[in-house]
Every structure is written in C-alpha cells, then in structure tokens.
Amino acid sequence: MLTFDADQADPIAICDELLNGAGAVKIKGLFTADQIADARAIIMEHSDKEGDKVTHFQGAAMEEGRVNLQRRVWNLLAKGAVFSDMAAHPVIMSVLSRWLGTEFIMGSIAANRILPGGPGQEPHIDFPYWDFHGVETHPIGLNASFPMNAQVTIALDPFTEESGATAYLPGTQKHLRYPTPEDHAHFYDNCARMTGDPGDTVLFFGAAWHCAMPNQADHDRNAVLINYIPKWVKPLEDMPGALPASFIDAASPEMRQLLGFNYPYPEVLDQADAVNAEGIK
C-alpha cells in the first residue's frame, strides 16, 4: 500500500492513487500515542456497557450467533473531544477537499471493535454505494468516475493479518459493482490487507471491495471509522440530531462544515428570504 508520513501527504498523489491506483493509501503520524490511547479507552468503555448496536455486513455472524464479537460504538463526536480532532485533522481535511470538494461533509463517525474470535464481514462497498446490490434502486449510468465517498480507518490496535486487518481488492474501485457471492473466492485469493500499527490511518475509496477479516489474535482489534461524502449526499448518521446543543454551539468552522451546516438544503423555500439565493451573480 502506498504510504505517506503526515508531513509528506500530498493530496494530488493521494487522490490519484484512490481514483486510478489501488484505491487506498496509508498515512503515518497523524495522531499522538495519547490520542490513540484516549480514543481506545472511550471505545472500550462504551462497547462494554452499551450492549448490542446496529451493524452491517454481518449476516453470516448473525446466523452463527457470533455477532456479539463485533461491537459498534456510534455517535463518537458526543463521546470525546479526541474524535472531533481526528475527524477534522488538517491533513485529512486537505486531502478530502481535493477529493470530494471543499465543502464535503461527514456521513458517519463510529468505532468497530472486533474481539478475539470475531468473524469477518462479507466483502462489500461503503455508503452511499453500500446497497448497490440493488442496482435498480440507483440512477442509470451511476459509476465511479467521480467519487461520492471517502473512508478513513484509524487503527487503535495492531492491524495484522492475524487480528483481522481489513482486506481489500486493489483496483476494484474503478468499476462500480457490488461483489456477489460468486466473486468471493476471487476476492479472498487476490486481496491485499490494510495492516498497520496503532495510530496508522488508512484513507480509501469505499467503492473498492473490502471487508474486515476474522480476528484470530489474542487481542481486540479496535478502529475509528469515518465516512465522508460530498455536501449534497444524504448522510448515514444524523449527527446534529444526536449531539447536544452545547457541542453544536461550540463547534469550530471545520466541524460545522463536516456537520453540514454550510449547505442549507433541503430548505422550506416557501419560508426562505426573498433573495436570489443561487447563481454566479
């Protein structure tokens, strides 16, 4: 996987690799050891006490009665300031301003904790493409020539092949298609792995086929997962609706952008100010 240090993360090179290359890059050194430890402690606390949460791509685990070995923590912005720092890191903001446009927003920020023995996911693609197995529900001609997604995975534990580091099939982001069961053997035979140390950050185009793999290690595999989308795509999580008013009142300009406050639509136009609201002039 193409790898950059934080001070050398070139947005042009990264975006070219996401669109035309393997579809994923690693950035090292974005977060301190204290930030990683803080984020991990919060996630462990909430995932131990909150009980089962909605999850995705875990149908086989549900059937086997093992879905409890994968624990989600949602609405991370409300659970610790470290997650706002992660979501709005200047390097991530710079790269994604080129990738998704300067007014991109955040679709979701959550944690995925896979315990020892936890099963992997089915190979898939991510929101807003994640139900593209129902092609007929999407616009005709939809393709990946321009991105409507960026995924950021921040490792909080060692991501090794043994612990279930995310698998992905390089290049599959170029041809927008949901992997079918008939594709699974080819996927597992040819996939690469998003391995890394705690604090390593992987940025990838979620149209690339990927999945969490089974955790066969003797330790948890925790990660912060952030979804970013263009300003006009409906987010996965209603983050403003889940956040306290105090958080929103104190939000930085970057966080207000990520929460979608800079883009006023949908709007009740019958009640809008009587001005020429859009246009060049």
Using 50, 70 and 90 to split pLDDT, how confident is the model at 258? very high
Q: What is the per-residue pLDDT across 124-159, written as a single tens digit (0 to 9) for each?
A: 999 999 999 999 999 999 999 999 999 999 999 999
φ, ψ of residue 8 to 5 degrees: the values are -125, 15
Using 50, 70 and 90 to split pLDDT, how confident is the model at 213? very high
pLDDT over threshold 70, residue 180 = yes
Q: One-letter amino acid identity for 73?
A: V
In this predicted structure, what is the pLDDT of residue 63?
63
Rg (CA), the chain: 19
Q: In CATH, what number is assigned to the domain containing residue 13?
A: 2.60.120.620
Residue 267 lies in a domain: yes
Q: Given 3-state DSSP classes, what are the helix, strand and coil percentages for the chain, each rounded to the nearest 5?
A: 35, 20, 50
Residue 37 lies in a domain: yes
Residue 258 CA to residue 107 CA, distance in Å, equals 8
Residue 78 CA to residue 72 CA, distance in Å, equals 15
Using 50, 70 and 90 to split pLDDT, how confident is the model at 66? low
Number of domains in the chain: 1
In this predicted structure, what is the pLDDT of residue 205?
98
Packing angle of the helix pair 90-100, 11-20 (nearest 10 deg): 50
Residue 207 lies in a domain: yes
Handedness of CA 133, 126, 109, 63 (dihedral sign): positive
Residue 186 lies in a domain: yes
Mean of per-residue pLDDT scores for the chain:
92
Residue 276 lies in a domain: no
Residue 190 lies in a domain: yes
Looking up tokens 């406050």 gives 261
Q: Do 35 and 80 meet the contact criterion of CB atoms below 8 Å apart?
A: no
Question: Which whole number is the average pLDDT over 20-39?
Answer: 97
Residue 279 lies in a domain: no
What residues make up the domain containing 266?
2-271
Residue 229 CA to residue 3 CA, distance in Å, equals 23
pLDDT over threshold 60, residue 57 = no
pLDDT over threshold 70, residue 237 = yes
pLDDT over threshold 70, residue 74 = yes
Residue 91 lies in a domain: yes
